[in-house]
C-alpha cells in the first residue's frame, strides 16, 4: 500500500468517525432543545385550560385551539392518571396526513369530576428543522471528505515528487558507475536531509567498494611475483638430474597447483579490469572468422576427447574489443570441451542476432540462476568457476545478453547481440 493511500485511509476514517460522532451529538442536542421548547408550549396550554376552568367552571371547547388539539375524557371515581409527556402521532386535518406529535396528558378537576386532558402538538416543524440540520451536516461532511481526497491527491503527489526522484536515482544506482548521485534541492527539509543521507551513503559504499576492489587487485597482483618465483624455481628444479618418477610426479602436482593459482589471480584481475571498464577500445570484428579460428585452435583438444564438432555460421560483424572477444570465445569453447564427456558433441550456430553453443556434458543441468556467478561450479569440476563470470561481465559490458538452458541432455548457451 502506498503511503499516500494509507494516510488517506486513516485520514478519511478518522474524519468520518469524528463527523459521525459530531452529527449524533448535534442531533441529540437539537432534538433535546426542541422537545424542551415544545413541552413548555404544552405546559402553557395546560395553564390556560386550568385558568379557563377556574374562571368559567367548565372545560374549553376542543375546537378553540389553533395549533394543538385537546381531548377530554372523564375519569371514573378513584381513577387517577399521572401527568406525563409522550410522543405520538398527530393527525393534521388541513394536510390530511399523519405527522409526528408530542402529547401532554394531565388531569383537571371540574366541579367534582376529574377529567383526563390530552394536549397534542405537531412535531412536523421541529422534525423539519432537525432534518435540515442533518442534511447540512452530511453535506459538509461529504464536501470535507472530497476536498481532503483532492488535497491529498494533488498536494501530496506534488510534495512527494522529490522523494520519488531520489528513489529512482537509488534504483538506478550502480556501484561501478563513476558519476556521483546528484540530487536537486527541494524546499522540504526532510527530503533534503534524505538526499544528503543517500548521497553520503552512496559515496561511502562506492569508496568501500573501490577499496575492496583495489585490495583484490593488489592482492592478485602481489601474488604474481611469488608465483613467478615458485614457477621459476620449479623450472630449475626440473633441470636437476636425475629425478625419479616419484619426484617428477610431485613436481607435476606442484606445477598444477601453481598454475591454478596464477590463473585464479589473473582471472580476478581480468574481472576487475572489465568491471572498471579499462578495456574499452573496440573495432569491427568478423565473428564468423573468429569462431572458425577458435574451432581450429581447439580442434586437437576436441579430437583428444573424441568430440564431434559441428558449426553453422552466418556472416556476422561485431563491434568490440578483440582481446575481450578472444577471451569470450576461449571461455565458451574451453567450457564446452572441459565439461564434455568422451565422445560427446558440440554444436555452434551463429545467426544475425544470436550465437548458440550447445554441448553434451557430464553434469545434468546447471542452476541457471547461478551459472554465471563467481565461483559457482560443479564440485567435481577442476575449474575455478570464474570462466562464465568473466563471460557474463564481457556480455554486460557489450550490452549483449546471455542465457543458459539444459534441454534434451544438452547444455545450451545463447548469446543475443
Partner 1 sequence: MKILIIEDEEELRESIHAYLKVEGDVCEQAMDYPTALEKISLYSYDCILLDLSLPGGDGMKILEEIKKMGKQDGVLIISARNSLDDRLNGLGLGADDYLVKPFHLSELKARIMAIVRRKNFGGYNVMSFQEIAIDLMGKEVKIEGQLLSLTKKEYDLLIYFIANQGKVITKNAIAEHLWGDEMDLSDDFDFIYTHIKNLRKKMIEAGSKDYIKSMYGVGYKFGMP
Where do contacts with partner 1 occur on this chain (CB under 8 A)?
A: 221, 224-225, 227-233, 235-236, 238-239, 243-245, 247-249, 251-252, 255-256, 258-260, 262-263, 266-267, 269-270, 273, 278-279, 297-298, 300-301, 303-304, 323, 326-327, 330-331, 334, 337-338, 382-383, 387
**Cβ(73)–Cβ(161) below 8 Å:** no
Shortest Å, Cβ 367 to partner 1: 21
CA distances from 367 to 240, 296, 322 (A): 48, 30, 30
How many other C-beta atoms are found inside a 10 Å radius of the C-beta of residue 336?
25
The rounded distance, in Å, linking the Cα atoms of 337 and 411 is: 12
The grid coordinates of residue 171 equal 534504483
Nearer to partner 1, 7 or 323 (CB): 323
305 Cα distance to chain centroid: 52
Burial of 371 (0-12, 13-18, 19+ CB in 10 A): buried
**Cβ(325)–Cβ(290) below 8 Å:** yes
Nearer to partner 1, 70 or 371 (CB): 371
The torsion of the CA quartet 165, 171, 176, 177, rounded to 10 degrees, works out to -20
Shortest Å, Cβ 177 to partner 1: 21
- Residue 278 makes CB contacts below 8 A (sequence gap 6+) with none
The rounded distance, in Å, linking the Cα atoms of 295 and 357 is: 12
Nearer to partner 1, 221 or 374 (CB): 221
End-to-end Cα spacing for the chain: 39
Nearer to partner 1, 56 or 323 (CB): 323
Nearer to partner 1, 90 or 298 (CB): 298
Nearer to partner 1, 22 or 299 (CB): 299
Shortest Å, Cβ 308 to partner 1: 17
Shortest Å, Cβ 335 to partner 1: 8
The rounded distance, in Å, linking the Cα atoms of 153 and 146 is: 10
Q: Dihedrals φ, ψ of 69, to 5°?
A: -110, 145
Shortest Å, Cβ 210 to partner 1: 17
Shortest Å, Cβ 165 to partner 1: 38
The rounded distance, in Å, linking the Cα atoms of 181 and 161 is: 17
Nearer to partner 1, 194 or 325 (CB): 325
Shortest Å, Cβ 298 to partner 1: 8
Shortest Å, Cβ 249 to partner 1: 6
Nearer to partner 1, 129 or 384 (CB): 384
Q: Dihedrals φ, ψ of 335, to 5°?
A: -60, -50
Amino acid at each position: 500500500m502506498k503511503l499516500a493511500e494509507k494516510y488517506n485511509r486513516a485520514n478519511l476514517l478518522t474524519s468520518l468517525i469524528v463527523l459521525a460522532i459530531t452529527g449524533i451529538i448535534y442531533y441529540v442536542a437539537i432534538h433535546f432543545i426542541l422537545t424542551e421548547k415544545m413541552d413548555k408550549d404544552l405546559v402553557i396550554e395546560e395553564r390556560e385550560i386550568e385558568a379557563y376552568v377556574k374562571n368559567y367552571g367548565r372545560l374549553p371547547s376542543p375546537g378553540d385551539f389553533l395549533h394543538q388539539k385537546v381531548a377530554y375524557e372523564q375519569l371514573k371515581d378513584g381513577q387517577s392518571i399521572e401527568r406525563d409527556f409522550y410522543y405520538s402521532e398527530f393527525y393534521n386535518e388541513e394536510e390530511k396526513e399523519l405527522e409526528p406529535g408530542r402529547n401532554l396528558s394531565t388531569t383537571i378537576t371540574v366541579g367534582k369530576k376529574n377529567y383526563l386532558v390530552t394536549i397534542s402538538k405537531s412535531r412536523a416543524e421541529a422534525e423539519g428543522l432537525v432534518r435540515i440540520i442533518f442534511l447540512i451536516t452530511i453535506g459538509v461532511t461529504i464536501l470535507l471528505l472530497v476536498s481532503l481526497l483532492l488535497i491529498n491527491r494533488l498536494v501530496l503527489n506534488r510534495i512527494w515528487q522529490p522523494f520519488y526522484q531520489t528513489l529512482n536515482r537509488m534504483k538506478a544506482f550502480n556501484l561501478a558507475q563513476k558519476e556521483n548521485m546528484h540530487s536537486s534541492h527541494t524546499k522540504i527539509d526532510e527530503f533534503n536531509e534524505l538526499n544528503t543521507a543517500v548521497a553520503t551513503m552512496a559515496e561511502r559504499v562506492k569508496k568501500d567498494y573501490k577499496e575492496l576492489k583495489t585490495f583484490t587487485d593488489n592482492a592478485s597482483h602481489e601474488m604474481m611475483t611469488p608465483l613467478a618465483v615458485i614457477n621459476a624455481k620449479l623450472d630449475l628444479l626440473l633441470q636437476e638430474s636425475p629425478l625419479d618418477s616419484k619426484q617428477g610426479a610431485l613436481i607435476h602436482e606442484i606445477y598444477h597447483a601453481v598454475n591454478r593459482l596464477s590463473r585464479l589471480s589473473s582471472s580476478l584481475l581480468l574481472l576487475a579490469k572489465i568491471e572498471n571498464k579499462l578495456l574499452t577500445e573496440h573495432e569491427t570484428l568478423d565473428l564468423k572468422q573468429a569462431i572458425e579460428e577458435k574451432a581450429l585452435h581447439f580442434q586437437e583438444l576436441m579430437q583428444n576427447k573424441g568430440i564431434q564438432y559441428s558449426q553453422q555460421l552466418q556472416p556476422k560483424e561485431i563491434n568490440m574489443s578483440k582481446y575481450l572477444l578472444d577471451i569470450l570465445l576461449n571461455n565458451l569453447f574451453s567450457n564446452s570441451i572441459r565439461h564434455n564427456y568422451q565422445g560427446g558433441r558440440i554444436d555452434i550456430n551463429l545467426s544475425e542476432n544470436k550465437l548458440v553453443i550447445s554441448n553434451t556434458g557430464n553434469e545434468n543441468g546447471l542452476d541457471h540462476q547461478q551459472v554465471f556467478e563467481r565461483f559457482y561450479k560443479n564440485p567435481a569440476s577442476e575449474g575455478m568457476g570464474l570462466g562464465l563470470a568473466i563471460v557474463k561481465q564481457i556480455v554486460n559490458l557489450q550490452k549483449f545478453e546471455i542465457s543458459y538452458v539444459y534441454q534434451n541432455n544438452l547444455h545450451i548457451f545463447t548469446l543475443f547481440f
